[in-house]
Structure 1
Amino acid sequence: MNLNQIIEAFLSLSIQNGGWMELDRFYLKNRILLLVGEKLLEEESQTVELFQGTAEKMVDELINYALANKKIENDQASKNVLKAQLFDLLMPPPAVVNAFFAQYYSKTPQDATDYFYQLNRKSGYVKKYESLESMTVEAGYGEMTFKLMTDQTKKTSETAANEFAAACIQEKSSPQCPYCFESEGYAEQKAENSMKRFIRMNLQGESWGFQFATDEQYSEQFFISPEKHSSLEYGKRGINRMTQILDVFPHYFISLKDDGSIRHGCYEGGKEQFPLFHKSISRYIELADFPLLNIGTVYWPFPVIRLQSPNKEDITEAAAVVLNRWEKSIKTIEDNIFISIIGRRKEGTYEFDLLFTNADKTTENREIDRQKFSIAELSGVLNLYDAELIKTEEIERSGRIEQLSEQYLGQLLQTDLFKRVDSRIESFEDFLTELEKN
């Protein structure tokens, strides 16, 4: 493929993404030619066959031309600067993205998120790694899902966020972490960040930003963070905000989990239907103040309390009662022990799960190697990034995954907060008894 084919494909993608119009084609082409050090291209007589690679591949090819023309030095810093400049031409400005989002949202919420997600995918900001194989294993508490992924070096969102924050602190740069609004278009740490866009939201009278994860761990993984760099409330106000997010995006689930490090709290969610979501309440309990609320436990490797109601006020108030009861059941509040919370909408009903787990992994394993369980892992999905495992024969691979399922289940069992030495209540059963007395 020659330079003309690559540029024409680049122009088509830029215009298709909405940042530029057809009238801008010559202007945009000249901008690219200037960046890579080429003169005006002669138009070919026949129809130009477009370059078929990804946006990232197109940018890499353009950088090669810039190197050949000695437009930039052959070092990583110079390449990253040019990469960021080219990527930025692929994505519309934030105001345009937000305007299009609002226009699509006037049709349906899913139309809006579909637009924003596809924009991020086509430009290459969201890198979706499809699984080579997905296996469902009966793990004693119901079915768990194991996905063999193509990228064995992929980082979790938490790890990437921590590295970003550490680099920003070291360089004393403006954005403190990737959840800060100042990180929009900030490409100092990673050139692809020049394409980052936030959808502005108003939640409880405060400014928040919606963004998709650049390295998604499950379908349409996203984060919603406050404009102010601060932690999130785990009480009534925080849960009420989760129900508001579900009203805005009823087709997504939303979760709240302590990340253990970054002080800029954020909600995490997506479109995936995890195995936990398909489980039913196995034992109902009663809260006297909420006669119309379904509340009970879910049979899972660690304690889970589920609340169901069409009334979001009941969900908010009842969840606060459970959280308050839990705070009284531990010896010291200073431990900052948080319960993971996952909420979703089901046919007009709000359904919230309270996960009583410290989310820490207790054993080392070459495939299961992260320090904390993600929301996906707590909900029954484990992504495996292991080249050797991918290459093995089906029978051997199946046996290995069964072994991993036992290790995975064992680790989940050990996250039970009621087994901590600092818990005043001896068992989950005792906690439920105390809860019903309130």
Structure 2
Amino acid sequence: MTSISKLIKQFTQQAIELNLISEVDRYYIQNRLLALVKVDELTSESLSDGNLPELLNSLDAIRHYAQTQGLLSTVSHEVEQFEAEIMDLVTPTPSVLNQTFWSLYKENPEQATDYFYQLSQANDYIKTRQIAKNIAFKSPSDYGDLDITINLSKPEKDPKDIALAKSAPASAYPACLLCMQNEGYQGRSNHPARANHRLVRLELSGENYGMQYSPYVYYNEHSIFLSESHRPMAIDRACFEHLLDVVSVLPHYFAGSNADLPIVGGSILAHDHYQGGAYEFAMDRATVLESFSLASYEAVSIELLKWPMSVLRIRSLNRQNLADLAERIHETWMIYSDPAVDIHSHTNGERHNTITPIARRRGEHYEMDLVLRNNRTSSEYPEGIFHPHRDVQHIKKENIGLIEVMGLAILPPRLLSELDGIKRYLLNETTLDAVAQPHQAWAQDLRQAHPSFNRHTIDRFIECEVGAKFSRILEDAGVYKQTDTGLTAFKKFINYLIDTTDKERGY
């Protein structure tokens, strides 16, 4: 068994080689690690020649030592705090990180984000090992290749953690998971450890924001831009300006916002924030069905996309004109109704219409996709008229947020074992009773439509069928369907937008 002294030396040396710390930090880091494991001194043994263990493997070994010595329990939140405290030692302080980021930014924005992204992986803030467990594949559809992921990275709650969280005193600090006060926070039974968490500070339209990466990234450089102020999300002119600011500062990133209403919004509506990253989604590549123009906005193009959600894409070299038109479209949609296609902007004074906006750069052009949303419910569709309907909820029943809107499915971990049960049924290795009940009707339909399967084709077949379900899920969420009736109604809204806008502006 490797001694704790050697483990500490290995960890420190690897951190130096990864440029997380400098040679001058060696003794300081070693001594802080000694204090964490209640050891007074390092032995004189030297590191052997050859490859060092991976940094995270050394972290595991130090954690294991602490547990065998009775210094650390196996309760997951306590383990998380211990590991984050160790990784905090090899993470630059916020001031140093920001100085480095903006110094690199002067050379090239991509160098700056590369530095921050690599650091966030190396210091275990981004949970690379858990993310590697995720299942990811592409599936063809009428709208192009969709991205499908079965998310296995977020750990399930330990029953001991649940019990501790229930008995933990209520706390309003930090007010939510997105507050800046999370930076460096120790964590507790009902709040994740954030000792190794860092934020890049940036200004969006004169307001202070922080940029971080998601601990469980769903796509390349999955970033979050959060307001210093804990305030609810809102889709408004300021939101459009902020998104355009992000892609002005980081032209290699897109930036988008979840909608600001339940059912069609994201999971955290209480804190103003946006998401971004360096990834091309299927919606980015969507075919243009028809183009429109406004006499009062000659410098802005409008396109209707072939996409299961209802998307208007606007583009201009002039970001001010783009923001103006985005605001106009939003204001028009907020009060627009078309009962013939189930669209009511308000019922009993409750607003239902909103927008999911996404900004990007294409060369010198600014571009925004405005996805029209409506969160109305009915007796037939109590979860939402424009929400995954019950016949597809066996695949996904959660909100269709920003990431799914763009064509990346984030599916629950239960599907891994449930799909395996369907495969075994189709291969005649088990009976229908062994298939999870919500999937049984689907499994029977698949067998009737495709009576012959084999081990070489079954995996890809199921992937494509899951992709087809996701395509249907997005179609359910689209306020205007990709049918003659739906597209006619969509064009009716676009023409109303053009006519009223041009008339109001004197054209």
TM-score range, shorter chain: 0.7 to 0.9
**Does structure 1 residue 284 correspond to structure 2 residue 291?**
yes
Shift in CA distance, 415/133, structure 1 to aligned 2, threshold 3 Å: closer
Amino acid of the residue matched to residue 61 of structure 1? Answer: A
Matched, 1:240 2:269: no
Distance 1:428 1:71 in 2: 63
Match of 2:427 in 1: none
Identify the residue that residue 139 of structure 1 maps to in structure 2.
141
Q: Judging changes above 3 Å, is the alpha-carbon distance between structure 1 residues 74 and 349 closer, same or farther for their aligned structure 2 residues?
A: closer
One-letter identity of the residue aligned with 2:395: I
2:378 is aligned with 1:371: no
CA distance in 2, matches of 1:296, 1:74: 55
Q: CA deviation at 1:144?
A: 2.0
Is 1:305 matched up with 2:312? yes
What secondary structure sits across from 1:210 in the alignment? strand
Instruction: Give the Cα separation in 2 of the matches to 1:67 and 1:210.
Output: 35
Q: Is the deviation greater in 355-364 or in 116-125?
A: 355-364
Q: 2:461 aligns with which of 399, 407, 420?
A: 399
SS of the equivalent of 2:328 reads: helix
Match of 2:369 among 344, 350, 353: 353
Q: Tell me whether 76-85 or 100-109 shows the greater mean CA deviation.
A: 76-85
Do residues 179 (structure 1) and 186 (structure 2) align? no
TM-aligned CA distance change 1:301 to 1:15, over 3 Å: same
Call closer, same or farther: CA 1:219–1:155 in 2, change over 3 Å.
farther
Structure 2 matches for 1:38-77, cutoff 5 A? Answer: 38-44=39-45, 47=48, 49=50, 51-55=52-56, 57-72=57-72
What residue identity is the alignment partner of 1:360?
H
Counterpart of 2:496 in structure 1 is 434
Contact 2:98 2:201 survives alignment (8 Å): yes
- Describe the shift of the 1:52–1:374 C-alpha distance in structure 2 as closer, same or farther (beyond 3 A): farther
Deviates more, 1:298-307 or 1:391-400: 391-400
Partner of 1:160: none
Letter in 2 for 1:289: S
In the aligned structure 2, how far is the partner of 1:206 from the partner of 1:200? 10
User: Residues 411 and 13 from structure 1, CA distance in 2 versus in 1: closer, same or farther, beyond 3 angstroms?
Assistant: same
SS in 1 for 2:8: helix
TM-score by length of 1: 0.86
1:334 aligns with 2:350: yes
Corresponding position of 2:379: none
Aligned to 1:323: 330
Shift of 1:155: 7.6
Q: Trace 1:171-320 onto structure 2 (pairs within 5 A).
A: 171-189=170-188, 192-258=193-259, 259=266, 261-320=268-327
| Distance in 1, Cα, partners of 2:387 & 2:370 | 16
Is residue 209–residue 224 contact of structure 1 (8 Å, CA) maintained in 2? yes
- Asked if structure 2 preserves the Cα contact closer than 8 Å seen for 1:200 and 1:208, the reply is yes
For 2:270 and 2:74, the matched residues in 1 are separated by: 37
Kindly provide the CA deviation profile for residues 288-332 of structure 1, in whole angstroms up to 9, marking residues without a partner as x. 211121112001112110011111011101111111111120442
Q: How does 1:143-162 map to 2 (within 5 A)?
A: 143-147=145-149, 152=152, 154=154
Amino acid corresponding to residue 89 of structure 2 in structure 1: L
1:3-46, CA deviations, whole angstroms, 9 ceiling, x for partnerless residues?
Answer: 34432232134445666431221222122122112342323356
Aligned AA (2:94): P
Residues 168 and 176 of structure 1 are in contact (CA less than 8 Å); yes or no, is this contact kept in structure 2?
no
Distance 1:195 1:112 in 2: 19
Counterpart residue number, 1:105? 105
Residue 159 of structure 1 corresponds to: none
The answer for unaligned runs of 5 or more in structure 1 is 157-162, 420-424
The offset of 1:95, in angstroms, is 0.9
Q: 2:74, 2:285 → 1: CA distance?
A: 53
Using a 3 Å threshold, how does the CA distance of structure 1 residues 281 and 132 change in structure 2: closer, same or farther? Answer: same
Is this contact kept in 1: 2:247–2:253, CA < 8 A? yes
Q: 1:72 to 1:278 in 2, by over 3 A?
A: closer
Which range moves more in the overlay, 99-108 or 6-15?
A: 6-15
- Cα gap change, 1:412 to 1:175, in 2 (>3 Å): same
CA shift at 1:218, angstroms? 0.9
Change (3 A) 1:372 1:245: same
Identity of aligned residues (%): 24
- Check conservation: 2:255, 2:275, Cα contact below 8 A: yes
Looking at structure 2, the residues matched to 363 and 220 of structure 1 have their Cα atoms a distance apart, in angstroms, of 33
Deviates more, 1:178-187 or 1:253-262: 253-262
Q: Give the Cα–Cα distance (whole angstroms) in 2 for the partners of residues 297 and 173 of structure 1.
A: 44
TM-superposed CA distance for 1:132, in Å, is: 7.4
Secondary structure of 1:286's match? strand
SS of corresponding position for 1:431 = helix
In 2, the alpha carbon distance for the partners of 1:196 and 1:119 equals 11
**Residues 125 and 195, structure 1, Cα contact 8 Å, conserved in 2:** yes
Determine the C-alpha separation between the residues in 1 that align with 2:152 and 2:29.
Answer: 37
How many angstroms does 1:226 deviate by? 0.8
* Structure 2 gaps, min length 5: 157-161, 260-265, 338-344, 375-385, 424-454, 482-486, 501-507
Alignment CA distance shift 1:261-1:108 (3 Å): closer
Residues 222 and 268 in structure 1, CA contact (< 8 A), matched pair in contact too? yes
Q: Secondary structure at the match of 1:282?
A: strand
Distance 1:437 1:142 in 2: 33
Separation of aligned partners in 2, 1:242 and 1:95: 25
Equivalent pair of 1:6/1:50 in contact (CA under 8 Å)? no
SS of match in other structure, 1:329:
coil
Q: Which one-letter code corresponds to 2:139 in the other structure?
A: V
Deviations 1:223-266 (A, max 9, x none): 11110001244222221221111110100000011325531120
CA 1:79–1:369 in structure 2 vs 1: closer, same or farther (change >3 Å)? same
Q: 1:46–1:123: structure 2 CA closer, same or farther, 3 Å change rule?
A: closer
Go from structure 1 to structure 2 and tell me whether the alpha carbon gap of 1:366 and 1:387 turns closer, same or farther (over 3 Å shift): farther
Calculate the aligned-residue CA RMSD, in Å.
3.1
Distance (Å, rounded) in 1 between the aligned partners of 2:166 and 2:471: 35
